[in-house]
Amino acid sequence: MEKRQLKYTKEETKTKDFVSKRITEMQDARKNVLGVNLESIWRQADRDYIPHKLGKVGKKVLVQDEDLGLASRRVEVGKDDWQTDNSIPNAYIKIQTALSIMVSKNPSAVFTPRKSKYESNTLVQKELYKMSWEEAKSLQQLKLFIFNLAKYGWAIARTYPLILKRPTRVLTEYNEDDPSKNVYQNKMSTEYNGVFRENLDPWKSWIDDMSKPNNPLSTKDWCYAKEYNYATLKEEFGNYPNFKYISEGKSELIGDSQGKETTQEYETKDVKIPYFYENRIKDMLVVMVDKVMLVNEPLPISDPEGNKKLSLWHTYWTTRHAECPYGIGINEAIKQDQTYLDRINNMTADQLILSIYKMFFYEGTDQLDESGAIKIRPGVGKQVSNSKGVNWMEVPGPGAEAWKGIEITQDRIDEASAITKQLTTGEQLEKTAYQAAQRAEFSLRRLNTPLSNITDALETDAYLTLSINELIYSIPEVITITDERLIKQYLQETGSDPELYQRGENGEFQAKLYPEVQLGLEEEPEGGRLVESENSKFFRMKPAFLKWEGMIRVKGQSLLAESKSLLKQMKLELFNMINPLFGVDQTGQMYLPIVKWLCKIYEEDWQDLVPEAWKQPAPQEQKGLFVPQDGTGDGGGGVPIGGGQKVDTRMGRNSLVSKAMSGASKLFSGFKK
């Protein structure tokens, strides 16, 4: 069948050529990062991560079976060799340990509104963010993200709105006697509709070569490639006009940097590879398949000001260079010491084998190996012409210095990777739980840099989630109602909220039904203010709930596998510091700033800990905190609280504020007592 020719407009041709050129440029840039081919380092990491032996298949030579006395035969040198060629799987151990430590649960975030008018929507945004992680099971994608990060030193993911709908036939009536007469109903089923996070293959993802570390604004464009089978590609993009120019069969690639060594081989023969290109400056989303420009649209994600956003978030493990976004992973950090360790470990093992399983010589005709010399083999006897009886070859054991060398080299690897023996094995040498917690905290301190980088990337994801939630939940289903009785009933139920209905062009009444979500919130009986609740309830969204601007801070510690003893101790310390303040300050006017500050240090949300009265807005007029000491004012050096109760505001040695400050100061001295 003759392939149909696609004709582009002049502007489309310009866009297509620009995108193809940019993809190739980004692919080539990764081959020379500070004079190093980054992909060669990644290729080595892929080989070293999987537990393996060091030996390679060698040439075949003629050897004689000395045990069975068989004729000479060809064997591969090294295949029958008794010498050890093991590689200690440090890369595997360290990466898996880092993964188990650094991600155990969904991240939590603190939302701080920029203006008071957004205060009421803060809890809604917090709950929507939490729900998006649970519904999409994004924790599993985050695990893959951190796995790539530890192995390659760089990882990349994307957050985007995902809607999966497909026509289905639903069984409505079952005929037991004749199943062929079953009744089905055609229905459009929604498999998923919400925020989705996807870890991407670093081999098939390329970012702007001008990108800088920890600076999302420096990345103006990026591209990634994914494998689809033809049927799935058609389901997702079949409605686009240019899809008819996409034929089944092997995909035509752009450039030559495909990471072929890591690409999985599929039995499916019609694997298609679309390239997704995003450009923030040009407001451009382009999808190309077989060099056919399938999609050319504006970017779908923007902030409240209308500024377009890329859907990616990426980061590095540890810094390679202040101007380079690609970091140094665990395998690259330990590679030199790992090579040395494998060498001395195998030599030590060989000598240990020879010292235990001795070789011996007895009198007879010399038996030479294929090299013309006697080759040492443990437990094998050799005939030699000048031997008297049976002589055992005495080989000394490896000696303490060999084992010490292995231990020192392993310690160097532990230091280079920041994954110490205590983190890997859980070995505890301390006598008390407090000392063990201190030791564990010190060991985790080395992982603070990658954890901080992960947190930075997750904050980019949080802002993307905020924009996508507003996009998804602000689109209503419009239903026309003609029955006046039903219209009146609808207006009563909705309180005649103008956001929940509209009038059509001909004046018909149209109800606007926004998506319904289940949130851990409830409305207060008086005032209707939303507060957090242990019980989830269904809420119907509307644009007024989704407007929000402010700062989002992801709590890095919320990802970690927590030490229960250390966590309990920290929570008790915080409770003991702030609980006395609740009894003497009924409204929080005096001590709320201090409580907020302490909660920030302990990475706790202050709203989860304070009484409801402390969350109420402060009154317009407040009396001064400090009272003249001459007895004027309210007298007695106190401030009236509630019904005339007075509190001493002079900060003596035993005052509540002094106790709180004293307790908090432990944070800066490593909790030393």
Q: What is the DSSP string of 329-360?
A: -HHHHHHHHHHHHHHHHHHHHHHHHHHHS--E
The residues near 572 (Cβ < 8 Å, ≥ 6 apart) are: none
Helix 330-356 vs helix 400-417: angle between axes, to the nearest 10 degrees?
170
Q: CB–CB of 106/133 below 8 Å?
A: yes
Place of tokens 């040492």: 376
Higher confidence at residue 465 or residue 577? 465
> Which residue would you say has higher pLDDT here, 362 or 546?
546
Predicted confidence (pLDDT) at residue 654 exceeds the cutoff of 50: no
The pLDDT, as a whole number, for residue 186 is: 92
Query: Could you give phi then psi for residue 275, rounded to 5 degrees?
Result: -110, 125
What integer best gives the mean pLDDT of the chain? 80
Q: Does pLDDT of 389 surpass 70?
A: no
Residue 560 to residue 566: CA distance in whole angstroms: 13
Distance set, CA 295 to CA 12, 13, 244, 278 (Å): 11, 13, 13, 11
Using alpha carbons only, how large is the chain's radius of gyration in Å? 34
CA distances 424 to 99, 110, 440, 441, 443, Å, are 11, 31, 11, 14, 11
Residue with tokens 């202040």: 322
Query: Which pLDDT band holds residue 44 (cuts at 50, 70, 90)?
Result: very high
Looking at 50-102, list the stretches that DSSP marks H as alpha helix, in order from N- to C-terminal side: 90-102
pLDDT band at 71 (very low <50, low <70, confident <90, very high): very low
Give the number of residues written for the chain.
Answer: 673
Tokens representing residue 234 in the block:
């058609």
pLDDT digits (tens, 9 = 90+) for 481-534: 888 889 888 888 888 888 888 888 888 898 888 888 888 887 776 666 677 777
Buried b (16+ CB within 10 A) or exposed e, 98-117: bbebbbeebbbbbbebeeee
* Of 548, 424, 406, the residue nearest 101 (C-alpha): 424
Q: What is the largest CA-CA distance in the chain?
A: 119
Rounded to two decimals, the pTM is 0.76
**Where does residue 644 rank: exposed (0-12), middle (13-18), buried (19+ CB within 10 A)?**
exposed
Pairing relation of β-strands 360-363 and 381-384? Answer: parallel
Nearest to 208 by CA among 219, 216, 217, 200: 219
Chain centroid to CA 461: how far?
10
CB 102 within 8 A of CB 454: yes
What pLDDT digit, counting tens, does each position of 606-649 carry?
888 888 888 876 555 444 434 444 444 444 444 333 444 444 43
3-state secondary structure of 157: strand
Q: Cβ(310)–Cβ(285) under 8 Å?
A: no
466 pLDDT more than 80: yes
pLDDT above 90 (res 556):
no
Identify the pLDDT of residue 513: 87
CB atoms within 10 A of CB 544: 12
DSSP class per residue in 479-507: EEE--HHHHHHHHHHHTT-GGGEEE-TTS
Please state, in angstroms and as integers, the Cα–Cα distance from residue 84 to each residue in 302, 355, 394, 416, following that order: 58, 15, 20, 26
Over residues 199-222, the mean pLDDT reads 95
Task: Find, among 654, 577, 648, 589, the residue nearest to 618 by Cα.
Answer: 589
CB 325 within 8 A of CB 154: yes
Asked if residue 472 lies in contact with residue 194, where contact means CB atoms within 8 angstroms, the answer is yes
pLDDT value at 561 more than 90: no
Residue 603 has pLDDT above 90, yes or no: no
Kindly state the helix (H) or strand (E) to which residue 639 belongs, with its residue range. strand 638-641
Binning pLDDT at 50, 70 and 90, where does residue 655 land?
very low
Averaged pLDDT, 16-32: 95
pLDDT of 67 > 70? The answer is no
* 20 contacts 291 by C-beta, under 8 angstroms: yes
CA angle 79-80-86, nearest 5°?
A: 60
| Range from 228-232, 320-324, 531-535 carrying the lowest mean pLDDT | 531-535
pLDDT of 618 reads 59
pLDDT band at 454; cut points 50, 70, 90? very high
From the list 659, 662, 664, 638, the residue with the least C-alpha distance to 650 is 638
3-state secondary structure of 377: coil
Q: Which of 324, 271, 282 is nearest to 19 (CA)?
A: 282
Asked if 273 contacts 294 with a C-beta cutoff of 8 angstroms, the reply is no
- SS3 of 538, please? strand
What's residue 451's pLDDT? 92
| pLDDT above 60 for 76 | no
Residue 460 above 50 pLDDT?
yes
Q: Are 150 and 317 in contact (CB under 8 A)?
A: yes
Predicted confidence (pLDDT) at residue 658 exceeds the cutoff of 70:
no
3-state secondary structure 236-295: HHCCCHHHHHCCCCCCCCCCCCCCCCCCCCCCCCCEECCEEEEECCCCEEEEEECCEEEE
Tell me the torsion sign for CA atoms 41, 46, 48, 52: negative
Is the pLDDT higher at 589 or at 367? 589
Whether the per-residue pLDDT at 406 is higher than 70: the answer is: yes
Tell me the pLDDT band of 602, cut-offs 50, 70 and 90: confident
pLDDT, residue 444, reads 72
Give the span between the Cα atoms of 489 and 468, in whole angstroms: 33
Q: Among the listed ranges 44-48, 289-293, 405-409, 578-582, which one has the minimum average pLDDT value?
A: 578-582
Alpha-carbon gap, residue 559 to 103, rounded angstroms: 5
Residue 657 reports pLDDT greater than 50? no
Q: What is the pLDDT of residues 93-108, one digit of tens each?
A: 999 999 988 888 899 9
- Residue 586 per-residue DSSP state: S
